[in-house]
Amino acid sequence: MPNRHGKPLRETLFVRMLPNLMTLAAICAGLTAIRLGFEAHYGPAVLLVLVAVVLDGLDGRVARMIGSDGELGAELDSLADFLNFGVAPPLVVYFWALQEMRVLSWIVVLIFALCCVVRLARFNVGNRAGTLPDDGNRIVGIPAPAGATLAMVPMFMAFAFTDRPILPDLAICVYLLLIAGLMVSRIPTLSLKGLPLARDNAVLLAAGFVLLAGAFFIFKWVTMIVLCGIYLATVLWAALSASRRHLTRKR
């Protein structure tokens, strides 16, 4: 039975459900990452968290493109973000290197998860109240997907160079606390979702994406280290700029 646009009803329903299906797929990826981390399959676990990051970046865009964004999708997305970015990454890191510290490292895992859920709740409240920054190119604090990716940098380093933890357990705990703090910080950071994509730059963007994809498939862990390093540099630059502006206003 066709709808008013001439498309079969089943096809229309599937297309409108696609963003939610992507979110549910991301949840499955996050849960499976936890299981693989528990079973000591750390490489696939990390890759599944990265799959969840990619799906999180796509589901909202797809929903807006086809006009199917709604309250259900927003709730699913928020719940998926907490599981995939607040629970799965610190647990995978814990299974990988922190079990010997037990109490201290588990407290760090809890703090990371709590900071992530506070960040998500703050974002949801600001989004509903319309108090988020008007500039679409920046947000306050690092987003949950970025925090999840950055949390696994010690694993990227180990997979790229030695296949075993490079940093001491205590240093990994301190690093996770730093990333958790950045998620709930007030530092204005770059938002990739808000960057305008001009048609004149489409060829350059496509070429850059192909090069990045090629680098990832050939040197995936080194590529992730470089990307995370660049992102952390932008966060540091934003923090220094905000500090200078604050000092200038005081004067």
Q: What is the pLDDT of residues 9-31, one digit of tens each?
A: 555 666 677 888 889 999 999 99
Distance (Å, whole) CA 147 – CA 138? 16
Residue with tokens 């009803």: 9
For 7, the 3-state DSSP assignment is coil
Q: Is the pLDDT of residue 33 over 60?
A: yes
**In this predicted structure, what is the pLDDT of residue 134?**
47
Q: What is the mean pLDDT of residues 126-137?
A: 63
Q: What is the mean pLDDT of residues 56-60?
A: 83
For the ranges 11-15, 100-104, 174-178, the maximum mean pLDDT occurs at: 174-178
Q: What is the mean pLDDT of residues 153-177?
A: 92
171 confidence band (pLDDT: 50, 70, 90): very high
Amino acid at 72: L
Helix axes 220-250, 153-161, angle to 10 degrees: 140
Residue, of 77 and 181, whose pLDDT is higher: 181
Q: Are 172 and 165 in contact (CB under 8 A)?
A: yes
Neighbours of 115 (CB within 10 A): 23
Can you give the pTM of this predicted structure?
Answer: 0.85
**In this predicted structure, what is the pLDDT of residue 212?**
84
Residues 6+ apart with CB under 8 A from 85: 49, 52, 53, 56, 116, 144, 145, 147, 148
Q: Is the pLDDT of residue 247 over 80?
A: no
Q: What is the mean pLDDT of residues 236-245?
A: 80
Distance (Å, whole) CA 137 – CA 190? 6
Q: Is the pLDDT of residue 198 over 70?
A: no
